[in-house]
Structure 1
Amino acid sequence: MLPVANTAYLVSCVSQKREQACEACDLYISDLFRKARRFSEASGCQWFILSAEHGLVTPSQLIAPYDRTLNTMGVSDRRVWADRVATQLFEVMPNLSQVVFLAGKRYREFLTLHLQRRGVGISVPMEGLRIGEQLSWLVQHSPHSAA
């Protein structure tokens, strides 16, 4: 098993947000985000939010609500976003060896290439699952079964 210190969990932002600025970990209010947050925190690893607006966001970073999503960005903009996130990620975790994605395909597609080039292992435990299946997976695999 890889050292916890070199593993990062990446959780994608969601459209459901509070109406005022707050810490990023509390800004996103969907059930999926909350369960992914709980799962990531329970891992003991560092975790970050993949924000379409801000790139890589720490859970304690203060940010305001926004309406940007990678799902409506063009390919070139998503490539630029992934370049930015990769730079941010390697700045905060220069010895990164493993990434666990709790994020959809658009959030992973170009970022994965950057990680693979640097020899970072990639895990996508919920790949191919629909939203309801992801929610169930997170509940089943979380050390705390509280919803």
Structure 2
Amino acid sequence: MRPNCTTVYLVSCVSQKREHACAARDLYVSDLFLKARRFAEASGCLWFILSAVHELVAPDQVIAPYERTLNTMRAVDRRAWGERVAAQLAEAVSDLSRVVFLAGERYREFLARHLASRGVEVSVPMEWLRIGEQLSWLGQHSPPPAV
């Protein structure tokens, strides 16, 4: 991690997962997640995974596969999830100044509001892009994969 980096990257979980417990960075296997992960890691700053089940997940945290998504949760439950994740993030990163979301609307809607209300700058570089466009954007803005 880059010293004194006060930016955190948040990558949302995806439905495509390995069939066994492993480090969260390796659990999710979709092309979108892998490209978002590479983009976040290349920043040199901290990054976390947003999970509907486990909330704020460190990349090296071992978790088992699951089948829940914020996309099917009620707004009141998503709001409560966002409050919990904002609190977890504040505890994990004391000098947080900026969050970059690499996540869909349901994963950032309430969380982004909580962060902004605490004075954290919120960035959503792919906000209006469809999935294919997100893949292209990440491909253009990320370093090539390690060989």
Q: TM-score, length-normalised on structure 2?
A: 0.95
Give the partner amino acid of 1:73: M
Partner of 2:41: 41
**Equivalent residues of 1:4, 1:44 under 8 A apart:** no
Give the partner amino acid of 2:83: D
2:116 is equivalent to residue 116 of structure 1 = yes
Aligned residues: 145
Give the partner amino acid of 1:16: Q
The Cα shift of 1:143 comes to 2.3
2:6 is equivalent to residue 20 of structure 1 = no
**Secondary structure, counterpart of 2:137 in structure 1:** helix
The Cα shift of 1:144 comes to 2.1
Partner of 1:66: 66
The Cα shift of 1:4 comes to 5.4
* RMSD of aligned alpha carbons: 1.5
Cα distance per residue 1:48-75 (max 9 Å; x no partner)? 0000001000000000000010000000
**Secondary structure, counterpart of 2:86 in structure 1:** helix
**Equivalent residues of 2:7, 2:96 under 8 A apart:** yes
**Equivalent residues of 2:13, 2:50 under 8 A apart:** yes
Give the partner amino acid of 1:120: V
The Cα shift of 1:117 comes to 1.1
Give the direction of change, closer, same or farther, for the CA distance of 1:68–1:117 in structure 2 (3 Å limit): same
Partner of 2:96: 96
Q: Superposition pairs for residues 49-64 of structure 1, below 5 Å?
A: 49-64=49-64
Give the partner amino acid of 1:136: S
Q: TM-score, length-normalised on structure 1?
A: 0.95
Partner of 1:131: 131
**Secondary structure, counterpart of 1:81 in structure 2:** helix
Partner of 1:144: 144
Give the direction of change, closer, same or farther, for the CA distance of 1:35–1:4 in structure 2 (3 Å limit): farther
